[in-house]
A and B are shown apart, each in its own frame.
Chain A
Amino acid sequence: MADELTWKDLEVGNIITEAGNGSFRKTGDWRTERPILDKEKCIKCALCWIYCPDAAIKPSEEGYYEADLYYCKGCGICASICPAGAIKMIAEEEK
């Protein structure tokens, strides 16, 4: 990765030719707490999805909204705004 790159690998004008190529970056390892969704309480209102600053919450096939732990930084906004109290933050080391 970064240590293998030199200036010779850069495009002229520092152009980045692939859009959104930064999305491989794993921000999930910043986390100290992670959100746990209680599907029985979830009312599928999608508030957590629209208020997630990291776009880490994704709609699933069943219509729930679940956090992608590869990106989730564990800020807790989803838990604090959930109107049904369906999201709980637990410490990262807890199972």
Chain B
Amino acid sequence: METKTVRFGEKLVTTKEFLAEGHSFCIGCGEALAIRLAMKALGENVIMAMATGCDEVTTTPLPYTSWRIPWMHTLFENTAAEISGIEAGLKILVKKGRMPERDLICVAMGGDGATSDIGIQALSGAFERGHDFIYICLDNEAYMNTGIQRSSATPYGASTTTAPAGKFSMGQVTRKKNMAAIAAAHDIPYVATACPSYRFDLMKKVRKGAELKGPAYIHILSPCPTGWRYRSDLAIEIGQLAVQTGIFPLYEIEYGRYRLNADPPKLKPIEEYLKLQGRYRHLTGEQIQRIQEMVNEDYAKLKEKVAASPL
């Protein structure tokens, strides 16, 4: 079959959609966009295991599926375990001559709940065993599918249904778990953060993670209009602001070498990012100042690591 592409300067992007149209993601979902772009980068030689979450319930209402690749639903806790088994199984099938050797990419996808809360044990095990797979975490910063309950990836100050803002509480009072740093602590070949607003950066990182031998972890910030409470046409702008204000820096760690992919000369004030979202509406000036300090601190730490890495 002839493959058509769309040209962006020197880059060619396929017009094939591996996540079929007609899925029931919310209107203006950043996660749907992230998956669509990631799949374009991965191509069709893929086997995927996907944890429960928004991405699973919206794409596969039995007996229909929106996936045009081999896809398997798993539970929250065992996505990484399942992809480990698939990878090991493929290896042994090839070794026994039951299957010709071919370049198949094993992909696991999960939300922030499946990755940083429930599935972290299996994921850590899979990293440690060194299976050749790529794990993509689609981080929308709460359990959006079941109704915006807080997860460990919910950032400081955000209001959710189980950490609501009100007279006695300012919403989430703990800090966001740094999942990319946890993945990096396993000394795996490739860890990266990405955001669909930076489309080519995301596709490049997914491709790189798939091509490298060994485990790769990509953490993708996926703006969620429903849970973050912003207008449905703002997903791209919010993603850009997350990077430009420094609350979600884009970086990659390749064999222990840190590299910043988007390094604005001067970070925008965090208020620009917060004020667009209803989940931060209750914050006072003092609390915003506190968030600004946290962002500055984390960003400075990251820059130190980048500066300490050899080029």
> Which residues of chain B from 190 to 205 have any CB-CB distance to chain A below 8 Å in the complex?
196, 199
B59 within 8 A of partner (CB): yes
Whether B22 lies near A24 (C-beta < 8 A) is yes
Whether A77 lies near B17 (C-beta < 8 A) is no
Secondary structure of the A side of the interface? loop
Q: Residues of B contacting A86 with CB < 8 Å?
A: none
In the complex, A78→B235 CA distance in Å? 11
Whether B32 lies near A56 (C-beta < 8 A) is no
- Interface 9-mer from B65-73, B148-156, B303-311: B65-73
Q: Mark B1-36, 1 if CB is under 8 A from A, else 0.
A: 000101010000101010111111101111011001
Whether B66 lies near A75 (C-beta < 8 A) is no
A23, A50, A51: the one contacting B21 at CB < 8 Å is: A23
Q: Residues of A contacting B65 with CB < 8 Å?
A: 16, 19-22
Q: Given A68-B21, A71-B21, does the pair A16, B27 have CB atoms closer than 8 Å?
A: no
B64 within 8 A of partner (CB): yes
Q: How far is the CB of A78 from chain B (nearest CB, A)?
A: 8
B234 within 8 A of partner (CB): yes
In the complex, A22→B234 CA distance in Å? 27
Q: Residues of B contacting A49 with CB < 8 Å?
A: 6
Whether B28 lies near A77 (C-beta < 8 A) is yes
In the complex, A71→B232 CA distance in Å? 16
Q: How far is the CB of A56 from chain B (nearest CB, A)?
A: 6
The count of chain A contact residues (Cβ–Cβ below 8 Å) is: 37
Q: Residues of A contacting B23 with CB < 8 Å?
A: 22, 25, 27, 54
Whether B233 lies near A23 (C-beta < 8 A) is no
Q: Given A22-B61, A25-B64, A46-B6, does the pair A76, B20 have CB atoms closer than 8 Å?
A: no
Q: Residues of A contacting B236 with CB < 8 Å?
A: 51, 77, 80-81
In the complex, A39→B298 CA distance in Å? 46
In the complex, A58→B59 CA distance in Å? 20
In the complex, A85→B41 CA distance in Å? 28
Whether A22 lies near B20 (C-beta < 8 A) is yes
Having A19-B65, A27-B24, A77-B232, one finds 12 other A-B pairs with CB under 8 Å, namely A16-B64, A20-B65, A23-B22, A27-B23, A50-B37, A53-B235, A59-B4, A75-B225, A75-B235, A77-B28, A77-B233, A80-B233
Task: Report which B residues bind A (CB closer than 8 A).
Answer: 4, 6, 8, 13, 15, 17, 19-25, 27-30, 32-33, 36-37, 59-69, 196, 199, 225, 231-237
Ranked nearest first, the 6 interchain pairs of A and B with the lowest CB-CB distance are A76-B233, A75-B28, A22-B64, A25-B22, A20-B20, A53-B32
Pairs A–B under 8 Å by Cβ, sample size 21: A14-B63, A19-B65, A19-B67, A19-B68, A22-B23, A22-B59, A22-B66, A25-B23, A27-B22, A50-B8, A51-B33, A51-B196, A51-B236, A53-B25, A53-B29, A55-B36, A59-B4, A71-B21, A75-B225, A79-B233, A80-B236
Task: Report which A residues bind B (CB closer than 8 A).
Answer: 5, 9-10, 14, 16, 19-27, 30, 46, 49-56, 58-59, 68, 71, 73-77, 79-81, 89
